[in-house]
Amino acid sequence: MRYDDVADLLPQLADGPEGASPEVAAFVESDLRSQAELARYRRLIRSLQLLRNHLVEPAPGLLAQIIAALELPDSRARILTARRMVYAGAVGGVAAGAAATAVVLMRRRMSLAGSVG
């Protein structure tokens, strides 16, 4: 038996020798190249397990979207609707802020005009 005969089985054997024939298991155990490859596969699996703890923060609004979708009545379109509601809320917030700013500016301009007149 040669390394090439077992190379394709190594990704499976990285989980343990179960399922391998006794000949294959014995060869892999005694072959240095197979052992080195197995060690690399096990390192890869360990890295993959660690990826679970590398959490990516979603863009803001996801939680609100999920909750909004739950609150809507049954509908095929409620995911999209929930997304629009959150988006509309954000746009509404910006619009309200702009309107408030405009009112303040207008009042300031009027009081300035009054003091000049």
Partner 1 sequence: MDLLIAAAKAGDRQAFEDLVRQTYLDTYNLALRLTANEEDARDVVQETYLRAWKGIRRFRGDAQFTTWLYRITANAASTYLSRRRRQRTEPLDTIHDMEDRRTEARPEEAAESAADLAQVAVALNGLAPKLRAVVVLKDVYGLAHEAIGAELGISVTAAKVRLHRGRKQLREELDDMLARSARAV
CB of 87 to partner 1, least distance (A): 12
Determine the interface stretch with partner 1 among 28-36, 38-46, 97-105, 106-114 (rule: CB under 8 A).
38-46
Region of 92 on the Ramachandran plot (φ > 0 left; ψ -120 to 50 alpha; else beta):
alpha
One character per residue 48-67, x = contact with partner 1 (rule: CB under 8 A):
xxxxxxxxxxxx--xx-xxx
Q: Are 55 and 24 in contact (CB under 8 A)?
A: no
Closest approach, Cβ 10 to partner 1, in A, equals 8
Tokens of 106: 């207008």
Binding to partner 1 by CB under 8 A, coded x per residue (else -) over 80-99, reads --xx----------------
Compute the distance between CA of residue 85 and CA of residue 98 in angstroms, rounded to an integer: 20
